[in-house]
Structure 1
Amino acid sequence: MIKHFVLIITLSIFLSSCAKPSEHQEKGRHNSNTKSISKLQNSDKENQAPKVVIEGSDLIVFYNNKKTVYKNLVVNEMSVSTELIQTNNTGFSLLYEQNASLTKIKEKYNFIYSDTGILLIDKEIIKFGQDGLMINRLYIDNFNMLNKTYENLQSLGAELPDNFEQASSSMSIYDSKNIPFATQNFQYSTEDLFISYPDVKDGDINISNVESANNQAFNLEKIGANQQSKILLEQIIRQFPDRIVAYLNLADVLWKIQDQNQAKINYTKYLSLMKSQNKNLSKVPQRVYDRIK
């Protein structure tokens, strides 16, 4: 009887020790769970979409887990109003509308996000009044937005001419050196274009200075404005199909935006034109050969 009792007690102790994890096991399990949670949190941070909000007169930008405040960029008063236009995860726009005079004015500033802060890509200004309608686009390079106000933005392109039109609706396009290189035509009346702007359908871009256009597209790609660069380069190739370097630049942009198939097509076209026009093949970048394999 005593033997049976001892056997039962021993068995109970053994089963109890098996069911209870050791302190080492508990720590290991806790550390494993902590690591899993940490990985999820880091993943959430990495995948966090950029965000921009308005607080009073300030623009607040959240990008790469960093908050940056741009002061005095928002103006809402009797004569001027500001609208934030969220475009996509790569950028946004600010639209200012002025109604104080007989000539109505809208100014649109297009930005992209970057590791160094928001970058101003271009400025569009459209005016409508008794003289008709004018609209300009000016590309901007190396404009640091820190400590900039609405007044600083307004001064950009102030020296460009106001070419008012009564009948047609076309935009004059300038590079960052204030050199005109293209026009863009719209299928709207002058009044309808102003009222609808910026929600208007893009018209064809007619390039008059291909070198300036190509240089501007290249500059856009360098700062990460790949979609804007792509649009210009596609127009260059459509109008100047023998412009060899445009195929290389477009291929690089397409590669950056993960469109490898189209990138390979343009790398191949670039290499083909280099050969057919008897260009120096030693100038072909090695990445061209690497990426068309």
Structure 2
Amino acid sequence: MPLKAYFFILFMGLSLLSVAQPKHIRLVDALSADNFAKHFNTDTVQLSQLNTSKTPAGVFIAYEKADTLNFKHEFYKSFDGPGYTKVGLAFYARKGNDYQLSFKNDNAFFCVSCNNMRYYNVNASRDTVSISISWGPNDFGRSEGYYFVYRPTAKRWQLAERDNAGSDDEGTSSSEYMTYPQNVKVYLDDYDAESLSYDSTVISNQRIGLSYKPGDYAALLRSLKEIPKNSLFLLPRVFNEHTAEYFMENGLDEDQPDNTNPIHGKNVLSANEIAYFLEQTNQLDAAQVFLDKVIERFPEREVAYLNRADVFFKKGQSSYKKAEKDYRTYVALMNKRGLQAKIPQRVLKFLSTQ
């Protein structure tokens, strides 16, 4: 018998001896990952995460599963072992202390070493299950999120939203967010995480994408202006105050080698226009991140005070004192330059009421 055929038969034989996750669990102890694992774990399946669901009642189990041999075999202690370890998802419906296996999906995540998967997580909140996957090299990785909503009629969780973000080896960051119609045929119990992003038959009904290199203000401004107007309401999904801070803190600037402050004379106009764009689209916290830095670097730039005062005004009455302070600074700077006639009447009217 050829050696290759011998090993194939050996692998198949050992695989047949392995035991899959149990179909029914009666839990006597309190519900916890450790207690559930006592009943769930086998030589080929190990509980990794447990998350409780209320709609419907039950638990989601993220598990690691041996592809061929069992985890006690020396193969799984070797360098190659993780490549043959799948990471899947199961749901056990709860009735009292009994938990019945409703589905298992061996392809809900990547394999342990596939695409250098670094992190994975499942979370259930009300009727929505979110799946998170982080993969790729540490410096230029990507993160993906899938959101499935429970459909009582079908008794399945259906794909409703998806997002992904990351950077490439040239330092360009990109983010994308999509929503899906209720006729999409993608369900939590049988979707394939590795192929879903590349499946051209799965079509979203709403989408927004943004790509930029941190520190390149002009490019970010162009990208923002290229977003279709009917998609701007989705902007917080791809750019918010946290990504704004990342953009400003991680950009490399040839004119500022130490990168102590990324705002300077050559990009301050773009930075201010980005803030104005964000304020006009009601992304107030992100706009303030830019305006704070502009004012810090250029404390006599009057338009920045006007824009930041508008941000505070839009935030509501609790921020009116901050708005008043910035409007008064703006007026003083305009008076100093002899530009009183250009002060908007709305500003003077607001100040007269304070």
Q: TM-score range by the shorter chain?
A: 0.3 to 0.5
- Greater Cα radius of gyration, structure 1 or 2: 1
TM-score, normalised by the number of residues in structure 2: 0.36
TM-score, normalised by the number of residues in structure 1: 0.42
